[in-house]
Structure 1
């Protein structure tokens, strides 16, 4: 990660309309700094998930420009796109886990793709499971886990490969206060290590006492709720 705290994310006049005529985002412009932790809040259905999907190229904007690390992510193809995706860790709201595989296998996948050494992968998996109070689930098939446990596995997988950008959709929806604190502790640690972290949530307990910037999506528009302390 370079020391230059430029913008990691630039969204310029981005709109997203779903057929027939559902405006998820309308003329959204925002700049998120490298190394920033950014909270995106809003009611269910406000467009938070769409916002994140646009950032990891799972959706294409109807209008506007999105740059990640200075590159127009929707113009990347093939190897360049694959390389960019390796630098982005995403914890989806619906988890997207391989339910027939074990917890350890699910978390290891992103590291295997970038050819990390097996002993390094094992150590990282073990460390993440400890941090998220899942050590006893190492060899459990993910399909047998509770929703709260699956949610934590999805988060561990998202951060495992030390991505420079971490996108998290409702990370605490199924968790109690103690586990929520563990999750936020892990995300804060990733942020302190240099990662830009974008968290979409409607759980005010996780951002109420932070110093980070908070913006709210309402009717497809972005509103500043609180300015954050610069990273």
Structure 2
């Protein structure tokens, strides 16, 4: 699903966010990118959905060089990518349900299908009572879950999640991971950037650590 070859990202004037990162992530894989704040995790996700372009290197998503794509070709590929941003990027003056429905509306899903999917996701994330609440009035933890629901609503083939559990308690964290595991079991490739050890500590999935812009394989929770 993803091929990154010797990818570097330097922000002006000379801040190196990523340095020579090469990684292959298989279709249908769940993959954890861990590391401290400022390690380059968010930059990595932004490169994978073409919000940023690499300074050097090659990035392929589903066999296509996403960093070179533009216009309608890029828009079509992005419809298959769901992103839950760390700063949520919600429409603060719209309801929770409207925010989640947006990704399905742009791909012309039928209104009754959208309605059912929104209700189902709100239930899974314990937000059923927030269906008609304006998102600007929600707590940060609630906004975080709405951002996640919006990212997965359209059943994308690639899901990118940035710090999904940062504002959540243990029970809600479990709900979030259950939903992401469900998406993964249904065939989606899921990439989670996190520094929350509770969600990857005993995972059977691959974990790689970003440190000072470089990627290191992890084995048994230790960097190798």
Cα deviation, 1:81-120, whole Å, max 9, x if unaligned, reads 1110000000000000000000000000000000000000
Deviations 1:173-202 (A, max 9, x none): 000000000000000000000000000000
Residue number in structure 2 paired with 1:98: 91
Who is 2:116 aligned against? 123
**Are residue 218 (structure 1) and residue 211 (structure 2) matched?**
yes
The CA distance in 2 between the partners of 1:81 and 1:115, in whole Å, is 18
Alignment of 1:9-24 (within 5 A): 9-24=2-17
2:180 aligned with 1:180? no
Output aligned runs, 1:47-196, within 5 Å: 47-196=40-189
Q: CA offset at residue 226 of structure 1? A: 3.2
Find the aligned partners of 1:77 and 1:100 in 2 and give their Cα distance.
30
Structure 1 residue 148: Cα displacement = 0.1
Aligned length: 220
Supply the distance in 2 between the matched residues of 1:114 and 1:99 (Cα, whole angstroms): 22
1:78 deviation in Å? 1.3
For 1:3, the equivalent position in structure 2 comes to none
Residue 77 of structure 1: CA displacement? 1.5
Gaps of 5+ in 2: none
Counterpart residue number, 2:197:
204
Runs of 4 or more above 4 Å deviation: none
TM-score, length basis structure 2: 0.97
* Alpha-carbon distance, 1:29 to partner: 0.2
Give the C-alpha shift of residue 76 in structure 1.
1.4
Provide the C-alpha distance between the structure 1 equivalents of 2:179 and 2:201, rounded to a whole number of angstroms. Answer: 18
Q: Which runs of 5+ in 1 are unaligned?
A: 1-7
Q: Identify the match of residue 33 of structure 1 among 16, 26, 39.
A: 26
Aligned to 1:178, the other structure's residue is in SS state: helix
CA separation in 2, counterparts of 1:80 and 1:69?
A: 13
Structure 1 Cα separation of the partners of residues 212 and 137 of structure 2: 38
**Aligned partner of residue 171 in structure 2, secondary structure:** helix
TM-score (normalizing by structure 1)? 0.94
